[in-house]
A = this chain, B = another copy of it.
Amino acid sequence: MTGLPKRLPTISQVAQAAGVSRATVSRTFSRPDLLKPETIKRVHEVAEKIGYVPNQVARALSTGRAGNIALVVPDIANPFFPPLIRAAQARADHAGYAVFLGDSDEQPEREDMLLTKMAAQVEGFILASPRLDEERVRAHAARRPLVLINRDIEGLPRILMDVSVGIAAAIEHLASLNHRHIAYVSGPPASWANQQRQQAAVRTAEKLGIHLTTVPAYHPNHEAGRKAAGELAQLPVTATIAFDDLVAQGIMAGLADLGWRIPQEMSIVGFDDVLAATTYPPLTTVAAHSADAGTQAVKLLTEVLSRGQIRDECIIIPTELIVRATTDQPTKRPRTASAEPRSETRTESSQQKPKRTGRR
């Protein structure tokens, strides 16, 4: 039971103890090139002894530069984000910035609150998959330079995934396996990313003459996928494209609970490629390279920060289909309801060797 650390040691205390002016102490930590080596040494010694470190808050107030950038994500526990965050941190570090991370818990209000509170403490924002309406995003962008990830708002610098290529490849892949009835299990309806993926799916399906049904999952996680599985089982579809890997994994678990075999009775395609090594069977999915998105976002933001100019720039990150083991030819007569007896005339599906396109 001891008292609280009272107050942080200040520049004045160091100055006094070292017998120099406050300006000299300040210079020791910000512009040592202006000082005599022995002075620097003395100040450092005293500072060390007292436990002084430059106060970032005061520094920020004085200079207007906080040395931080904000990164706001909707859900840290979604495995799409950690690689993105790590990559962003690494790149920010490299540019001398610290990253303040905020988790909005998928709530627009929390996102708004976080950005408001952070405005003065950071020099710029990176908003990953923001749930906020466009107007408010623009309001925040008016305060600080802002880079978007996974959201397309004209006039703002943004990092987008080229969803259509990956989704098209996925549906073509399924079509080539003879699937004609496919379901898309959607993510949050308000999510821009979901709208993109859904649209791309609808468009490609139309072009290929494939029947596409949409099933809502609302929340992009395992549990929502699991619930969607029940609905899927009632549908006359032989393949499912999920909003993301988590939903896909949930669907696999849900169908497994119902006794379905994957891919024999249902082919599954995920999105993001964040669970590759961890599902069973290994998941066929569209890789989105989230780490690249993090790197590019920070790069773009720091450029804006140092150049003092905002370009209406849009960086597109390609997506690619990675075929693993959850997609194969459908059985002849798809089960339409769990009560229906199994088809006796199931084709021996030619075992497709899991092959990977792309890297690592």
Interface residues of A (CB under 8 A from B): 1-5, 7-8, 51, 53, 55-58, 60-61, 64, 66-68, 75-77, 79, 82-83, 85-86, 89-90, 93, 98-103, 105, 110, 114, 116-121, 139, 141-145, 155, 222, 249, 253, 275, 277-280, 304, 308-312
Contacts and interface: CB of A to CB of B under 8 A. Distances in A.
Nearest to A250: B277
A25 B338 CA distance: 65
Contacts of A312: 1
A84 to B, nearest CB: 10
Contacts of A4: 145, 304, 308-310
Contact of A278 (B77, B144, B249, B308): B249
A58 B57 CA distance: 8
Contact of A280 (B3, B114, B121, B280): B280
Contacts of A105: 86, 89-90
B76 A85 contact: yes
Contact of A57 (B66, B98, B277, B308): B66
Contacts of A55: 119-120
Contacts of A77: 82-83, 85-86
Nearest to A100: B100
B120 A58 contact: yes
B5 A145 contact: yes
In terms of DSSP, what is the predominant structure of the interface of chain A?
Answer: mixed
A304 B53 CA distance: 23
Given A139-B51, A308-B4, A85 B103 contact: yes
> A116, A119, A312 — which one has the most chain B CB atoms within 10 A of its CB?
A119
A86 B76 CA distance: 7
Nearest to A145: B4
Contacts of A61: 57-58, 61
Contacts of A145: 4-5
Contacts of A280: 279-280
A10 to B, nearest CB: 10
A310 B55 CA distance: 23
17 contacts: A2-B309, A3-B310, A4-B145, A4-B309, A5-B141, A5-B145, A8-B120, A51-B143, A56-B121, A57-B66, A77-B85, A89-B105, A93-B110, A98-B114, A100-B101, A278-B278, A280-B280
A175 to B, nearest CB: 29
A145 B2 CA distance: 11
> A4, A51, A57, A253 — which one has the most chain B CB atoms within 10 A of its CB?
A57
B2 A310 contact: yes
B89 A103 contact: yes
Contacts of A79: 79
A309 B86 contact: no
Given A249-B277, A278-B279, 12 more contacts: A1-B310, A1-B311, A2-B309, A5-B143, A56-B117, A57-B120, A57-B121, A68-B121, A77-B82, A85-B103, A98-B117, A278-B278
Contacts of A67: 117
